[in-house]
């Protein structure tokens, strides 16, 4: 993303099947980054009830969506000029 925007170098996009899973993914991403990578100071924006939670690490933004919201916001298309580093099924 660094060639496309100054807000982040990388976007990580994933989705969940329900609100509980969405909240658990966001909390796990934040905690794992802190414990395993020593990355602190992340910010969480959004709420699991809204269907979209953003975990902001500065250079890396982790977007966690409900399936419905991921399709609605379609960030892959919005940022289609960005380079895909990895795609997992």
Domain boundaries, the chain: 10-78
42-64 pLDDT tens trace: 788 998 899 999 999 888 889 99
DSSP string, 18-77: SHHHHHHHHHHHHHHHHHHH-----EEEEEGGGTEEEEE-SSEEEEEEEHHHHHHH-HHH
What is the second-level CATH architecture of the domain 10-78? 2-Layer Sandwich (3.30)
Q: Residue range 16-29: average pLDDT? A: 94
Stated pTM of the model: 0.82
């Amino acid at each position: 993303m660094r060639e496309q925007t100054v807000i982040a170098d990388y976007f990580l996009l994933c989705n969940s099947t329900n609100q509980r899973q969405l909240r658990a993914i966001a909390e796990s991403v934040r905690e794992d980054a802190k414990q395993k990578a020593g990355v602190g100071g992340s910010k969480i924006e959004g709420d699991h009830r809204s269907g979209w939670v953003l975990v902001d690490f500065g250079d890396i933004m982790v977007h966690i969506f409900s399936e419905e919201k991921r399709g609605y916001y379609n960030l892959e298309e919005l940022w289609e000029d960005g380079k895909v580093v990895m795609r997992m099924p």
